[in-house]
Amino acid sequence: MSGQTLQAPRGTADLLGDRAKALAEVRELCAQILGQAGYEPIETPAFEATELFARGVGEATDIVQKEMYTFTDGSGRSLTLRPEGTAAVCRAYIEHGMHRRPAPVRLWYFGPFFRYERAQAGRYRQFWQVGVEAFGSPDPALDAELIVLLVRIARALGVERTELRLSSLGKPESRDRYRQALQAFLRSREDELAAEVRARIDQNPLRAFDSKDPGTQAVMAEAPLLLDFLDEEDLAHLEAVRELLGEAGIDHRLDPRLVRGLDYYTQTVFELVCPDLGAQSGVGGGGRYDRLVAQLGGPPTPAGGFAAGIERLLLAAGRFDGRFLDPAPDLYLLYTTTPASRDQRRRAFGILASLWEAGLAAQLEVTGRSLRRGLAQAAKVGARLAVLVGEEDRVALKDLGSGEQWTVPADRLVAVAKERLGGNGHPA
């Protein structure tokens, strides 16, 4: 039906103006912080074979069971919009033989992710993440490096009040022993648990720690803790990570009940929480996943990573609208008479292209404003100079601050404008 207005799907948002600029700014900032630490950018597709997430993230997770946007394409393949980045980056690591590169291989990405979740403040169906994955090192310094980078990104954005929660899930063998103990405990208290928790005692008993049900929470306060099942090696690893965080001046809290919603973790897990955000307080999280690469068909490769939600970081920084890339042009081009003649437009356009080429930020009047209104618009967008294009080959250059005006031959304009802007033109 033509003419009917349409809206963006629930849980998604158009990012306009300051919000779109904020996204670009955060990406730039992440590039700086992560580049400085030796991370290289990687971009993987927005969709992958469904099997990748089923095998990578884990069949029993909420993400795979209820949150994936899965569809069948024209040739009958099952594809899924990526709900997270780790499985995809591991797939790329294996597919491109990156294990043959000197270790460690440090990668980062920034992009949209998709989860069919109940949409609310801070929780969306399309959201943005910055993610980091590092392959080829079992050193606790790698875990600490990841945590420091997550905290650095949050701080650089102005997120002040955060709490870092840290724990260890141990090796899969320790976890299996723990799982059995936890299952036995849950069964012994079955009638006090929420139906949803009861139904998952076999498949995913750990999720019981996440339950919001008061009865379940009371039971879980007495549940055995994974930390008590770790072996010496796991405990030494955790201690080493804690010591290094102390060295970097990063406070943390050991949280033995920390549960991550993804199955691939081994040993270190962490979450950066901003209590000011209320229900959706996790701004970032990650951990080590030493078995995942092998599980996806690659060689055994110790690895770790994290991801942070961009919207949540910006909300926590209290500046979804705030300090942004400077959009003000150096120059604003307009016509001395309107409507502009074909010749005027041709020359103005040539000047515009040469200003851009020279690295100056410039905008051309394209809505037919009169000279007076055009000058008002130039001031409004924050231009420093106006270029008045008339019928001759010379143009007038007007300083919008002082009101001074000169006549300049068109072919000298770039040089004169640069001089006038004092070499401080905005980067193009």
Quickly list DSSP for 55-108.
HHH-TTSHHHHH---EEE-TTS-EEEE-S-SHHHHHHHHHHTTGGGSSSPEEEE
Least separation in angstroms between CB 345 and ligand HAM: 46
Q: Is 306 in the site for ligand HAM (CB under 6 A)?
A: yes
Distance (Å, whole) CA 285 – CA 273: 9
Out of 44, 61, 80, 129, the residue judged to bind ligand HAM by CB under 6 A: 129
Least separation in angstroms between CB 264 and ligand HAM: 8
Q: Is 133 in the site for ligand HAM (CB under 6 A)?
A: yes
Least separation in angstroms between CB 317 and ligand HAM: 13
Least separation in angstroms between CB 303 and ligand HAM: 8
One-letter amino acid of 426: H
Out of 56, 104, 286, 298, the residue judged to bind ligand HAM by CB under 6 A: 286
Q: Is 117 in the site for ligand HAM (CB under 6 A)?
A: yes
Out of 261, 410, 416, 426, the residue judged to bind ligand HAM by CB under 6 A: 261
For residues 33-92, which are near ligand HAM according to CB under 6 A?
84-86
Least separation in angstroms between CB 58 and ligand HAM: 12
Out of 309, 329, 374, 390, the residue judged to bind ligand HAM by CB under 6 A: 309
Q: Facing residues of 389 across strands?
A: 335, 395
Least separation in angstroms between CB 428 and ligand HAM: 33
Quickly list DSSP for 281-341.
-EEEEEEE-TTHHHHTTS----EEEEEEEHHHHHHHTT-SSSS------SEEEEESSSSPP
Contact 375, 363 (CB under 8 A): no
Token pair 């010591």: residue: 243
Out of 305, 329, 374, 425, the residue judged to bind ligand HAM by CB under 6 A: 305
Out of 165, 175, 200, 312, the residue judged to bind ligand HAM by CB under 6 A: 312
- Residue 381 DSSP label: T
Q: Facing residues of 303 across strands?
A: 135
Contact 336, 304 (CB under 8 A): no
Nearest residue (CB) to ligand HAM, 80 versus 129? 129
Out of 104, 131, 205, 425, the residue judged to bind ligand HAM by CB under 6 A: 131
Q: Is 282 in the site for ligand HAM (CB under 6 A)?
A: yes
- Residue 9 DSSP label: P
**Contact region for ligand HAM (CB under 6 A) — 165-173, 200-208, 285-293, 409-417?**
285-293
Nearest residue (CB) to ligand HAM, 169 versus 283? 283
Q: Which helix (H) or strand (E) element contains residue 167?
A: strand 163-168
The values of phi and psi at residue 184, to 5°, are -65, -45
State the maximum Cα–Cα separation within the chain, in Å, rounded to a whole number. Answer: 92
Size of the site for ligand HAM (CB under 6 A): 26
Nearest residue (CB) to ligand HAM, 133 versus 290? 133
Contact 294, 197 (CB under 8 A): no
- Residue 393 DSSP label: S
Q: Count other Cβ atoms within 10 Å, centred on residue 375.
A: 19
**Contact region for ligand HAM (CB under 6 A) — 116-124, 156-164, 246-254, 373-381?**
116-124
Q: Is 110 in the site for ligand HAM (CB under 6 A)?
A: no
Nearest residue (CB) to ligand HAM, 311 versus 330? 311
Summarize as ranges the residues that interact with ligand HAM (CB under 6 A). Answer: 84-86, 115, 117, 123-124, 127, 129, 131, 133, 261-262, 282-287, 305-309, 311-312
